[in-house]
Chain A
């Protein structure tokens, strides 16, 4: 079936390794809830107003039973339900109700509406109100935007529909139950397609956020992205009573390589260097492009052993293809560590930079 959907609308490649599952799910959840929070009051307002208009029209259209008498209790029920719907819409718009509670509340209010319609079938003994209830079941899914409240509400409404269809004298019980089931199926289908667009939207916004903190050339963090992550890292280090360290990596002679072989070559050199650094550090360490030819690693814990790290880095730093042998661009490394309570990230980076120069000169 997935083949039927064809290619996704959004085909921007995302490095799967850097994307952790829980955050994707959390992003999607947040986008879904925020869309739902905006839609619910609007939908409820529309439904409430429509209900009032239809109540008025039904009243004007005249009596529906064979005796030619108005059944006022039906109009009273309709107006009462419309009032509940409109009050809920108002409360949601004012923000009185927390966003997480809204799907359940929304479903509860619409379930109440559906049950009222089914009760009117019992009062009136015509299929009209039943047909309204079926319309409600059919539109429930795409407007609820949440599977569990939708399924619970559908189960309740279906039970009500079965009870009503089994006891009334108008139509063929079985047929009417099947219509209710079909309505719920249509609802499921519509909810599925809506969820797909919403998740695509969530992924696109998450990717946009990530791009804003990512260096476009190498895929590691940019300076802004690194700085945004520092407070969390510092707080974590304090909690665990750990030290923090900085590794400063400089790509030697990049400017000359740029001038000599062109910027595309320089770009590949930076990418190669970034790849080597990412492979040489632990998974949780933060890697960022600091300046044009500088890469900074920020991590929690003791400083890596300088010589071993340097060796690991050089062995990872491999040139491939045509670029091999053109330019012996090397990586210079400097280290610094400190405590989150006493050292700022700027200090540590400055010290690591200075240490890098010192090591380079003494080599």
Chain B
């Protein structure tokens, strides 16, 4: 896999995790936001009634109810699967914009800087909650632009300064969005590292048996589509057990690593190479079987022991081959046949 491709894979995984986190959070934030909005309004109404009944404004209550209804509707919509995951940030952004417009209606009718301050809160909170740059920028742009229009026609104070406040809130929202995305991407990278670990043999870096089995269906279906053959190469590290007993497990580990390296280097990049058992390596690939003798030679020439290990033990690799067709052979059959072929070849030598 080229570096370019792996960056693409990483970015795709990051996007998936980001959308998954967002899909999980949106309904909660919207519904909770609606509840907080209603509670906020209720407290304001009660306290105003107690302290200053003349200021009671029932028109404002209606806009608050409408805004809460929008948030609840969006929240419950996003709890269902009605909206595809990648479109959800835009639904969320739309709800935020509608709430902003509701607050502007209040600014216009009450001519009170208070509703404008709540718009600033909304912009900040959107930064933390939207989890997507384009929808957030769209929200900030629409709300700030509407703010400029409202401030110009229905001034509540020095227009330029209030507009700058909107920009300040959007900038703070962007900072929060940036740090949130960093955390979410770190989480995405950590989970993909975990997934990689689960399919990798730790000693050799090859696939482990589980990882091989996971990759097989894709290979099988590709071979079926192209009507191509499947081959299996079975490699056995001879005398590993004796070497382990005699020179210790660290030595044995180096022997396995050297064998894994040489098998990997003898195969094409897209062949699947896996550690099968303690001293066995299995290769599965698409196409014709490699020419047995030539492959064996290539493998042995790759299999280089270095330094002191070489003198201790001449680790040799025995190889067996099998090939078949996806429509008739199972992978277990092929591996068993390759294993048997390996034994046969070893004894005829």
Contacts and interface: CB of A to CB of B under 8 A. Distances in A.
A174 B162 contact: no
A193 B158 CA distance: 36
Contacts of A35: 183, 186
B217 interface: no
Contact of A190 (B43, B129, B164, B248): B129
Contact of A46 (B129, B173, B175, B278): B175
A263 B279 CA distance: 12
Interface of B: 17, 20-21, 23-25, 27-29, 31-32, 36, 40, 43-44, 47-48, 51-52, 55, 79, 112-114, 116-118, 120-121, 124-125, 127-129, 157-158, 160-162, 164-165, 168-169, 171-173, 175-176, 179-180, 182-184, 186-187, 190-191, 193-194, 197-198, 202, 208-210, 244, 248-249, 252, 276-279, 332
Interface of A: 1, 4-6, 9-10, 12, 35, 39, 42-43, 46-47, 50, 54, 57-58, 61-62, 64, 126-128, 130-132, 134-136, 138-139, 142-143, 171-172, 174-176, 178-179, 182-183, 185-186, 189-190, 193-194, 197-198, 200-201, 204-205, 207-208, 211-212, 216, 222-224, 258, 262-263, 266, 290-293, 346
B240 to A, nearest CB: 9
16 contacts: A1-B28, A4-B79, A6-B23, A10-B191, A10-B194, A42-B179, A61-B160, A128-B165, A131-B117, A138-B120, A143-B175, A171-B112, A176-B114, A176-B117, A258-B277, A263-B277
B187 A211 contact: no
B168 A179 contact: no
A138 B121 contact: yes
B25 A175 contact: no
A159 to B, nearest CB: 19
A185 B118 CA distance: 12
Contacts, number: 198
Contacts of A224: 202
A191 B125 CA distance: 11
B129 A193 contact: yes
Given A132-B168, A143-B176, A182 B36 contact: yes
Interface-central residue, A5, A136, A174, A176, by most chain B CB under 10 Å: A174
Classify the interface of chain B: helix, strand, loop or mixed. helix
Contacts of A138: 120-121, 124-125, 172
B20 A135 contact: no
Given A9-B191, A127-B113, A142-B180, A134 B249 contact: no
B28 A182 contact: no
A198 to B, nearest CB: 6
Given A64-B161, A178-B43, A193-B129, 5 more contacts: A9-B21, A58-B164, A212-B202, A263-B276, A292-B277
Given A138-B125, A143-B175, A54 B157 contact: no
A50 B168 contact: yes
Given A128-B165, A186-B124, A9 B29 contact: no
Given A128-B162, A175-B44, A185 B24 contact: no
Contact of A182 (B40, B179, B208): B40
A201 B187 contact: yes
A268 to B, nearest CB: 13
B164 A131 contact: no
Contacts of A132: 165, 168
A197 B179 contact: no
B248 to A, nearest CB: 8
B176 A190 contact: yes
Contacts of B198: 12, 211, 216
Given A58-B161, A61-B161, A207-B194, A194 B183 contact: yes
B175 A205 contact: no
Contacts of A175: 44, 112, 114
A208 B183 contact: no
B312 to A, nearest CB: 17
B123 to A, nearest CB: 8
A204 B175 contact: no
B172 A179 contact: no
Contacts of B112: 171-172, 175
Give the 6 A-B residue pairs with the shortest CB-CB distance, closest first. Answer: A292-B278, A190-B128, A204-B190, A138-B124, A61-B160, A201-B187
Nearest to B210: A216
B184 A197 contact: yes
